[in-house]
Structure 1
Amino acid sequence: MGSCTTGLVLPVRHRPRSYGYDTILRLAEYADAQPGWNTLWTADSIMALPFLDSGVLLAALAARTRRARLGIGCLASLGFRHPVTVARQWADLDQLSHGRMLLAACPGNGTGTAVENELRTFGMDYAEKVARFEESVTFLRAVSTGATSFHGPFTQVENLDLGAGFVQRPLPTWIAANPSPRAGRATVDRLLGRVARLGTGWMTFNVTPELLRQRVERLHELGPGPFEVCVFLNTNVGLDQNQVLADARERWFQTAPRGVSVDDLDDIAAVGSPEAAADLIGRLAEAGATHLAIEPLSTDVPAQVGALTELLLPRLDLTTPTSASTSERPSRAS
């Protein structure tokens, strides 16, 4: 089967139902010790979604881990943040992590009560936020390679000093874009065209292997690449299939991912036996995925991370993870 690297999406919501905040850092340390987990992913929102602050959490992860790349998928608030502040923060994060930072940026959603309230709070409409997001991505790529001046519609900078600056030159910058499976050609080209124009990688979700293959082919028609292709994949594996399905569905109803119905899980989530999950991941890799950001779709995230590490990762075409007999499984915080 095709191969790709694998990352763990950490549970970063405020007021978690069944674990304490310390569990996030313990899970990160556990995954960092497993060679099969290549990246640790956080999420981002200022007001629209109940996530821990992405910058604060990434700094904690930089201090508590040593090997895995540290990704944010996606930095939906980029259009709200001043790009000079973001550049200084990410340059310092890249130094603290010894060059392990990975930025996946997106303009965020444009509809919904919480989103509209956030836009009002920052005094802009969605079109302006998208324009600022695009300029910020361009700015970050420029200054991460050493540029000290920049002139755009929203940002004018001279004599920029980022201290030690970025370890990675340029900072790896992927663009998240999720055209609906039913989106027309114009919508797909607009969103994938943004990826080709601004990023070195594409992050997406809610794709079957066949749809991913079609979208990857179109991405390469729109831009020369090369592009990393990251699929965000809800996953729940175990030996008791009825228990796995019930747990995944219960967690889905707690979070209700945007644009995905519970009936879609059979096609776009890896829920079931470790063998079936590995088969789906292999087909996604063959369709063009180079990285999987795996989110445990479970009411017991620490237990599911242990199951993924012990049951799924050894079945993938990856570096064999540390055996459970030699590495303590993650546990809940009190």
Structure 2
Amino acid sequence: MRILPEGRLVYGMQLPVQSLSTIYAEPWETEAAPADLLRVARAADRLGFFYVACCDHVAIPRRLSDAMSTTWYDPVATLAYIAAATSRVRLLSHVAVAGLRHPLLTAKQYATLDHLSGGRLILGVGAGHVREEFAVLGADFERRGAVLDETIDALRAALGPEEFPEFAGDRFAFHDLGQRPRPAQSSGPPVWVGGSSPAAVRRAAERGDGWLPQGDPREQLPRQIGRLQTLRGDGPTLDIGAIAEPLYVGEPSWPVGRRTLTGKGEAIAASLREYAAMGVGQIQVRFRSRDLGELIDQMEAFASDVAPHLD
């Protein structure tokens, strides 16, 4: 099921505050509060962002905690909190590590979220990468790819229109077990598959409604998209995403990093339109900022000075 508009490049963003990985979190986020998270979500809703996203980790081992931090808000709780304060912006799990949980549990959580939000859920799923997280939850890390494949199939059944879904696979089977509320989206929420490994691209082509690459450099995207489309064959067209370089609209007065796209809105838009030329339909944007106010200022500048030039 495609949800991206034809002929338009839309934009979404990972919410700040909800995860504090050193790869992308700004220093000010460590002292931020839930009210700050809400302000950003409301701004995204008001400014025409296609989605806001939340990550998924259950527990971070000590060996990874310096780089990843241990702050990872639960995506279902966080997106439900956001849903109650917004009305238009879609809600993306980017990504739910679906193999950590039984698919009926995942279906119950996300069906409820889709119901409460009026059908705004995009279910992004990925295989995961933290061995200890799988071990403590009794999940299969070594075969997590195969588990995810079957989990997606089971979720398709469990999130479909039937109150009593049926599924029989190698690991999961259920029938005569009803779940309500059903998702507001009658055929179930779209499933976007995350990851850039060969297995993840194959999984997106075979089982996904969309693909969420994990930060592929833009020069590598055409090759990945070509492989994705070859594997997809004659199937329905996928919604293809990309994570853009960090952005700062205008001329920054502080060091924003050499990879950050800066300058006037039209120049930034011209650079981002290169993604559309590759076949990308949605870009995930991230703004450099020193505090909450600057982040919202950047979101507003993007919506007014960049977004009108993306088509």
TM-score (norm 1): 0.77
Determine whether 1:166 maps to 2:192: no
Q: d(CA) in 2 for partners of 1:211 and 1:272?
A: 24
Q: Which runs of 4 or more aligned residues in structure 1 lie more than 6 Å from their structure 2 counterparts after TM superposition?
A: none
Q: How does 1:51-200 map to 2 (within 5 A)?
A: 51-76=72-97, 78-109=98-129, 115-147=130-162, 148-168=165-185, 169-179=187-197, 188=198, 190-200=199-209
User: 5+ unaligned residues in a row in structure 1: which ranges?
Assistant: 110-114, 180-187, 250-264, 321-334
RMSD: 2.5
2:236 maps to 225
Percent of aligned pairs sharing the same letter: 24
User: 5+ unaligned residues in a row in structure 2: which ranges?
Assistant: 1-6, 21-27, 61-67
Q: How does 1:1-334 map to 2 (within 5 A)?
A: 3-11=8-16, 12-13=18-19, 16-35=29-48, 37-48=49-60, 49=68, 50-76=71-97, 78-109=98-129, 115-147=130-162, 148-168=165-185, 169-179=187-197, 188=198, 190-223=199-232, 224-241=235-252, 243=254, 246=255, 248-249=256-257, 266=259, 270-271=261-262, 273-311=264-302, 313-317=304-308
1:258 maps to none
Q: d(CA) in 1 for partners of 2:250 and 2:310?
A: 23
Shift in alpha-carbon separation, 1:288–1:38, aligned structure 2, 3 A: same
Contact 1:196 1:219 in 2 (8 A): yes
Shift in alpha-carbon separation, 1:31–1:21, aligned structure 2, 3 A: same
Cα deviation, 1:295-325, whole Å, max 9, x if unaligned, reads: 23434354123213224653234799xxxxx
Shift in alpha-carbon separation, 1:225–1:271, aligned structure 2, 3 A: farther
Q: d(CA) in 1 for partners of 2:135 and 2:47?
A: 43
Shift in alpha-carbon separation, 1:198–1:170, aligned structure 2, 3 A: same
Cα deviation, 1:121-156, whole Å, max 9, x if unaligned, reads: 123442233332222211111222235111112211
Q: d(CA) in 2 for partners of 1:8 and 1:29?
A: 13
Q: How far 1:238 moved relative to its partner?
A: 3.6
Shift in alpha-carbon separation, 1:318–1:5, aligned structure 2, 3 A: farther
Cα deviation, 1:41-97, whole Å, max 9, x if unaligned, reads: 111111135211111101111111101111111112x11112111101111111101
Contact 1:10 1:40 in 2 (8 A): yes
Q: d(CA) in 1 for partners of 2:304 and 2:168?
A: 46
Contact 2:266 2:309 in 1 (8 A): no
1:331 maps to none
Contact 2:195 2:201 in 1 (8 A): yes
Cα deviation, 1:12-46, whole Å, max 9, x if unaligned, reads: 126942422210011111211122x1111111111
Contact 1:204 1:230 in 2 (8 A): yes
Q: How far 1:213 moved relative to its partner?
A: 2.0
- 2:166 partner amino acid: S
Greater RCO between the two (CA within 8 Å, min separation 6)? 1
Residue aligned with 1:202, SS: strand
- 2:168 partner amino acid: H
1:259 maps to none
Shift in alpha-carbon separation, 1:205–1:116, aligned structure 2, 3 A: closer
Q: How many residues align?
A: 283
